[in-house]
Structure 1
Amino acid sequence: MLSRSSYVNTINVKVASYSSVLQLGDSCIINGLSRALAVQREEEQDYGNEGNFAAYSVFSESIPFTPITENFCSQTHHLNPIIKVNHVNVIGFSSSAVLHVGNSQTISMEARVKHIRQLLPRQR
Structure 2
Amino acid sequence: MSRWSVVRQMKINNISLASILQIGDNESIKSSTKALAVQRQVPTFLENEGNLDAYQLFSRVIPIPEVYEEVDMKVDNICDSIQVNCIRVLAISASSVLQIGSNSQIENETRVKHFRQFVTDKKE
Taking structure 1 as the reference length, what is the TM-score of the superposition?
Answer: 0.80
Q: 1:75 aligns with which of 73, 76, 84?
A: 73
Higher strand share: 1
1:9-41: per-residue Cα shift (whole Å, max 9, x none)?
211112223343322221111111011111122
Distance 2:113 2:41 in 1: 18
What displacement does 1:72 show? 3.8
Counterparts of 1:9-20 in structure 2, within 5 Å, are 9-20=8-19
Structure 1 residues 31 and 77: alpha-carbon distance in aligned structure 2, compared to 1, 3 A threshold: closer
Q: Percent identity?
A: 36
The within-5 A match list for 1:57-68 is 57-68=56-67
- Give runs of aligned pairs for residues 29-108 of structure 1, distance below 5 A: 29-69=28-68, 71-78=69-76, 80-81=78-79, 82-108=81-107
Point out which structure has higher relative CO (alpha carbons under 8 A, 6+ apart).
1
**Counterpart secondary structure, 1:100:** strand
Please list the CA deviations of residues 43-93 of structure 1 after superposition, one character each: whole Å capped at 9, or x if unmatched.
222222221110111000000112122x34423232525543210111222
TM-score after normalising by structure 2: 0.80
